[in-house]
Amino acid sequence: MPNFQSSITTATPHASIKQSVHFQNGSTFEHAESTFWSKQFALSENVHSDNETTDPKKSRYIAKHTAISTKSNFPIQSIAFRPSDQLDDKSTNKQMAVATGPRVSLYPLKPSSALSWNSDVQPDRNISLGDIAYCADYRADGRLLAIGCADGSIRVVDIKTRATLRTFRTGSKEASAIGVRSVLWGRDGKKIVSAGDDAILRIWDISAESTEKPLLQLRGHADAIRVCKMTKVKINSGGDSSGSVLAVTGSYDHTIRLWDFSKSFYPTNEVLGDVKDSYTDDCCLSVMDHGAPVEDVLILNESLYDRNNSSFLVLSAGGNIIKLWNAMTGTLLTSVTSHAKTVTTMCLVTPQQLKPKRWNEKSTPNDEGDKLPRLITGGLDGLLRIHSLDINSSLNTHSISVLHGIKHKSPITTIHVSPDAMRLFIGTTDGILSIFHRSRAQLHHELELQKQQDLKRKRLNPRGGTYAYFMRGTDAMPDPDDYLMIAEKKKKMNRFDSALRQFRYADALDEALKTKNPVVVSYS
């Protein structure tokens, strides 16, 4: 088992860019966005500083950065998160699989409530392989792990015993350029989708007798397939609103293809159902030309935009360009160039994940800015960029704006955010896995500020019929052009004056002497 060396450094939470800076494509870096990522995830210009904070009170408000390096120095190829138990979301069996070199390392992920300043991150077990591991994916129940290797094999491994249960091969052992770059589990947990350097999309059945003959092979790409993503959507056509399973692949032939695994090809109407062997590209719905070798693709969730029957939005990264597509029609919606070299990875973070919220309470953004998701990208230039996705299908407006960025010390190969949005993972070409732990104390601080803003908003807009509703506007400040009418309050009469008005001279003299004021006594 290889030895892992870990080092913990802290970063002072201040923005890398102090003011708004205009970018070449018309977008700008925003100071508020830089401050947020600097305080929350320590993504600032001195992220690799060796200065440590000794004050325990101040350290609670500073995000932690942990760097894990391996002696093999293989690039970090992929990161996968084990699905959490739906019945117990706070279970401690959360896990992360990191594919690097001839192994897949399994790291335990503590719940966000158990994060401490001095906590260390070490793998609890390693899955040794005979060749370089390119990708990995957990099954929905989290018990099995599918691993794609450089020799063209797909291994199904039990994460508890680390035993290889099945091994599928895309070609002979002597064949070259057959590495599996992407593996995905079907929703039924019995099928696996694989794609790789031979430009063929394959579907495997883990219960099949043959490990070299897939259920289905889809041809269409002319070069290596680097990435494959799959999702289930509902398409209303002809009164049929049943769900269809769509897959998106990106290839080095500069194209992105949309594939349909629908009931017309699968008689059981299940995702990747039982079908006979066939070799066809009839499943391809559309082809999009990115203009450069495609490294990564992302399928946007329907909740992020107003979806209709003809819209299915996909992000693609290739060269130094990021493009947004309507995959159903193959139309390019917008593009942005924010890197100097090839963009290798993309990660999408929803506003619900970033915004602090009370436990067991759904978050509702207050303004339009909070509703915009954030796109995190990394490239071979070592740049990490954070973009804002502004998508409005009803108005047909789409834009990608650069908000913040830092320079990492090594070329970036993969970026992932944990499901609870408490950790940001960055893998590099030199085998270093950087983990940025979100400041939990800072989250509570922002939550308190949010409570104060909510209270202030309630005061400005009180409920009708309440005392605050009738007293609204009493503390409003006048404008410079307003005419002020000052009503002087009537002074309260002294006790001796009140006695004099009632002709009680003895009482008036007693009240005057009680004041012990020489002026009042002499006047009396």
What is the CB neighbour count within 10 angstroms for residue 502?
Answer: 10
Amino acid at 330: G
CA distance 281 to 276: 15
CA 457, 461, 466, 470 dihedral sign is positive
| SS3 label, residue 232 | strand
Report the predicted TM-score, pTM, of the whole model to 2 decimal places: 0.72
Amino acid at 69: S
List, in sequence order, every residue forming a beta bridge with 165; answer none if it has no partner: none
Ranges assigned E (strand) in 172-293: 180-185, 191-196, 200-205, 216-219, 225-234, 243-251, 255-261, 279-280, 284-289
What the block records as the tokens of 26 is 């018309």
* CA 473 to centroid of chain Cα atoms: 42
Quote the pLDDT of residue 469: 82
**158 closest CA partner among 179, 141, 181, 170:** 141
Quote the pLDDT of residue 518: 85
Run of H or E residues at 452 = helix 440-460
pLDDT one digit per residue (tens) for the chain, 524 residues = 344 333 333 333 333 333 344 444 444 456 777 878 887 787 875 444 333 444 444 444 456 677 777 656 789 999 999 987 543 444 446 788 999 989 999 988 776 544 444 455 678 888 988 889 999 999 998 899 999 999 899 999 998 898 999 999 887 555 555 899 999 998 888 899 999 998 999 999 888 888 888 888 888 899 999 999 988 776 554 444 456 788 999 999 999 999 987 643 444 434 444 444 444 556 888 999 999 999 999 998 876 766 666 678 999 999 999 999 998 889 999 999 999 999 999 999 887 777 654 333 333 333 444 568 899 999 999 999 999 888 876 667 888 988 888 888 889 999 999 887 888 899 999 888 888 887 665 556 556 666 777 777 777 777 788 887 888 777 777 787 888 787 777 788 888 888 888 999 889 888 888 888 888 887 76
For the chain, which residues make up each domain, given as ranges?
Answer: 307-353+366-407, 488-524
List, in sequence order, every residue forming a beta bridge with 434; answer none if it has no partner: 67, 426
The torsion angles phi and psi of 71, rounded to 5 degrees, stand at -75, -20
Rounded-to-5 percentages of helix, strand, coil across the chain: 15, 40, 50
Ranges assigned E (strand) in 206-266: 216-219, 225-234, 243-251, 255-261
